[in-house]
Copies of this chain bind each other. A is one copy, B any other.
Amino acid sequence: MNTRNFEKDELFEQFRAVREFSEEISSPLATEDYVIQSMPDVSPTKWHLAHTSWFFEAFVLEKYDKKYKSLHPQYNYLFNSYYALVGERHCRPKRGLISRPTVDEVYKYRDYVNKKIEGFFTRSSEKEFREHAPVIEIGVHHERQHQELMLTDIKHVFSENPLKPVYLEAPSNGTNGKTAKQSWVAYPEGLYEIGRGEESFCYDNETPRHKKFLNPFKLSSRLVTNGEFIEFIEDGGYSRPELWLSNGIYTAEDNGWQAPLYWEKAGSKWHHFTLSGFKELNLAEPVCHVSFYEADAYARWKGARLPTEAEWEIASEDLEIEGNFVENARYNPVPLNGSLKNMKIKQMYGDVWEWTSSPYVCYPGYKTLPGALGEYNGKFMSNQMVLRGGSCATSITHIRNTYRNFFPPDSRWQFMGIRLAQDEN
């Protein structure tokens, strides 16, 4: 993991901002909403708030100050997610059984950690700062990741409630169904380089930069829309085994999938549950909350395929990072308006994470970080697929063109969508 030589002020400002934003995200919630775990993948909001604080405690404060005392001796047990080298942990699927510490106590814990980190910024020597600053930077990025999970998790929690609570009202996404025309953007074959090479921050799994030969390929100029995905449904897509991976169709059958997660037909029209409540589906919005299996089947139905992560990275290399991020406060993908000028590729960043056809494995020559932080990424390189580009719940400050997100192929509760690719021939 490379880090710039941050100036203290800049890093402190990042720290302060990310800590504040977690609390801003939580502010629309009632106390009761913080407690619930609606499935094993989901964590209660108060757990996220505490775990992101624990991260600074375990990886910075306890290293920096050998006499450091946590606010409570059991918090290290309760709020360690999966770092085996840091010690025993509370069982993940039981996070929703823990009413204490209360939400108030968790906020006190955050304040406690914030003050201690503030103290570090004030009092650390140059040498100490150089030693711990890179880990604080990881902690900032770590908390941004959890902010996205807080939103997707609370969406899942609310969706289980027959009262269909509203997290925050967002403005309408405009005219239903109106979107820019789809076209294909071509890229030549070549021996490319992918992976992070610059000095600025990245995770270990984005490195090392390495050579990759690509055949010529084409990417779709925009994301697949709800309206296009409905055509797949209406063509019997969910019950045609020839379109699916074997694991995919069994997963769909076992779980009774007939449409993306959160979709529901009310009368003759498709609706979906959103963070702004239960709404009629806008056909022009990018389709969202589909698994890799559904994305893959849709692509096959279209006579196309999903991009590899290398293709996605090459195609995005020179694009400016702009799009519909969490800072927009839409909490939902939005339609692509206007015409596509100059055959440029659009919607690469923001809106939805784009499933690639690449299993999540290490790059050639990959090395994990030493110590428990080495568990951050590497140990999950099994039975997961890479997603690229960030979503409407990602912070614009968090995404990079080399950023590798990863989820099992049957996951649907993140903001996940589809961009098509094709071989050039």
Q: Which residues of A contact B (CB under 8 A)?
A: 30-36, 38, 46, 72, 74, 77-78, 82, 84-85, 90, 94, 96-103, 157-158, 160-163, 165, 191, 210-215, 241-242, 244-248, 293, 308, 357-359, 361, 364-365, 374-375, 379-383, 409, 423
Q: List 13 A-B contacts (CB under 8 A).
A: A33-B100, A74-B162, A97-B157, A100-B161, A211-B213, A215-B364, A215-B365, A242-B375, A246-B379, A246-B380, A248-B382, A364-B423, A383-B409
Name which of A31, A84, A215 has the most chain B CB atoms within 10 A of its CB.
Answer: A31
Q: Are B423 and A365 in contact (CB under 8 A)?
A: yes
CA distance A359 to B34 in the complex (A): 38
Residues of B within 8 A of A158 (CB): 99
Measured between C-beta atoms, what is the minimum distance from A9 to chain B in Å? Answer: 36
Q: Are A162 and B77 in contact (CB under 8 A)?
A: yes
Q: Are A78 and B162 in contact (CB under 8 A)?
A: yes
Q: Are B382 and A246 in contact (CB under 8 A)?
A: yes
CA distance A101 to B162 in the complex (A): 10
Instruction: Decide yes or no: A213 and B241 within 8 Å by CB, A98-B161, A99-B30, A99-B165 being known contacts.
Output: no
Instruction: Decide yes or no: A213 and B213 within 8 Å by CB, A74-B162, A84-B242, A97-B157 being known contacts.
Output: yes
Name which of A32, A102, A293, A379 has the most chain B CB atoms within 10 A of its CB.
Answer: A32
Task: State the 9 A-B residue pairs at the shortest beta-carbon distance, nearest first.
Answer: A359-B359, A84-B241, A32-B99, A211-B213, A33-B99, A246-B379, A97-B160, A247-B382, A31-B31
